[in-house]
Amino acid sequence: MNSKRLGEVGEFKIIEKIREKFLKGSGVEVGIGDDTAVLKVSNSKLLVTVDMLVEGVHFLPSISPADLGWKSLAVSLSDISAMGGKPLFSLLSLSLPSHLPEKWLDDFLAGWRELAELFGVSLVGGDLTKGERIIVDSIVLGEAEKPVLRSGARVGDRIYLTGSIGDSSAGLHCLERGLDYPNLIRKHLRPMPRVKEGIRIGESGKVHSMIDISDGLVGDLAHICEESGVGAVIYSDKLPLSADLLTFCREQALSAKEFALFGGEDYELLLTAEADLAEFFEFPLYEIGEIREGGGIFLHDNGEEKPIERRGFDHFR
């Protein structure tokens, strides 16, 4: 490796380089390089989210820096989309081992930027410090006139997904076991947040509640049910499963439904609304179930209905 280590370059030089690379976007009065960022915001409501990714907990040490850069922004963009909002600005807090080559950080930022440029998100600040483990804290600010909350689900609402689920956790399974299913692995490493769909949903005013699939379908639907004081039923045969997931599960003798129900990090949007919603948008929506009275989540499978135990990922267990 020709590149210097971060410890040889030094904090201020690194920040100076980042500042030169990331020009100020629209609405950014002061970006990197002062005590705070200064942002011009309109009168609508401001959305703010933060997601911390820790080496060994959220990602394998072997992840490529470009994939990590992409993913760390994707998870936060997805939160903004889950409110029906438009992402605008981002800040990045990084704790990095000083022995990392400078090229590592260049590649990380290149991956981050590749996604940011798709949606016009500006890097406006952050923090940089040394630490034994790689830790990325991704902050994204956005706006929405009418944010779509978790708490708005109504009895009788249909439950929709913006795309197939289970692929990301199957991809992680492959990475951990050295299995070669590149499409699934890519879904895990480079999830595509539903930014445009989120904006359209927010503008439409037709969606009662929404969340993104980060903990897994059952875990995330449980958040909606708890916040809304309702229950839900999912139809097992309506779950959108990709051809890649079905092939992988057939070949590996695994259950695609298990990945779809409990696997996290697909970053599809899960929403509830009236029955005719799918006709309203130009992008596909998959109807997978219904909101009902009472608590709990039930799975309708082979003519039978059973309660599902929540098995979402808990970061402290």
Interface positions with a copy of itself (CB under 8 A): 6-7, 9-12, 14, 29-30, 33-41, 43, 45-52, 54, 56-58, 79-80, 82-83, 85, 89, 91, 93-95, 98, 124-133, 135, 137, 139, 141-142, 144, 147, 149-151, 210-212, 227, 314-317
The 3-state secondary structure of 47-112 reads EEEEEEEEECCCECCCCCHHHHHHHHHHHHHHHHHCCCCEEEEEEEEEEECCCCEHHHHHHHHHHH
Structure token pair of residue 284: 């596909």
Three-class SS of residue 239? coil
Contact 240, 250 (CB under 8 A): no
**Min. distance of Cβ 271 from a copy of itself in angstroms?**
12
DSSP 128-148: EEE-SS-EEEEEEEEEESS--
Decide whether 7 or 296 has the Cβ nearer to a copy of itself: 7
**Min. distance of Cβ 154 from a copy of itself in angstroms?**
17
Decide whether 227 or 301 has the Cβ nearer to a copy of itself: 227
Decide whether 214 or 242 has the Cβ nearer to a copy of itself: 214
Structure token pair of residue 36: 């705070």
Decide whether 21 or 133 has the Cβ nearer to a copy of itself: 133
Tokens 């092939």 sit on residue: 247
Report helix angle 167-177 to 182-189, nearest 10.
110
Decide whether 32 or 234 has the Cβ nearer to a copy of itself: 32
Determine the Cα–Cα distance for residues 298 and 317; give it in Å rounded to an integer.
25
Determine the Cα–Cα distance for residues 300 and 236; give it in Å rounded to an integer.
6
Decide whether 48 or 246 has the Cβ nearer to a copy of itself: 48
**Min. distance of Cβ 78 from a copy of itself in angstroms?**
8
Contact 141, 54 (CB under 8 A): no
**Min. distance of Cβ 220 from a copy of itself in angstroms?**
10
Determine the Cα–Cα distance for residues 256 and 244; give it in Å rounded to an integer.
10
**Min. distance of Cβ 75 from a copy of itself in angstroms?**
10
Strand partners, 300: 235, 305
**Min. distance of Cβ 2 from a copy of itself in angstroms?**
19
**Min. distance of Cβ 131 from a copy of itself in angstroms?**
4
Decide whether 58 or 113 has the Cβ nearer to a copy of itself: 58
**Min. distance of Cβ 129 from a copy of itself in angstroms?**
5
Decide whether 107 or 301 has the Cβ nearer to a copy of itself: 107
CA 98 to chain centre: 28
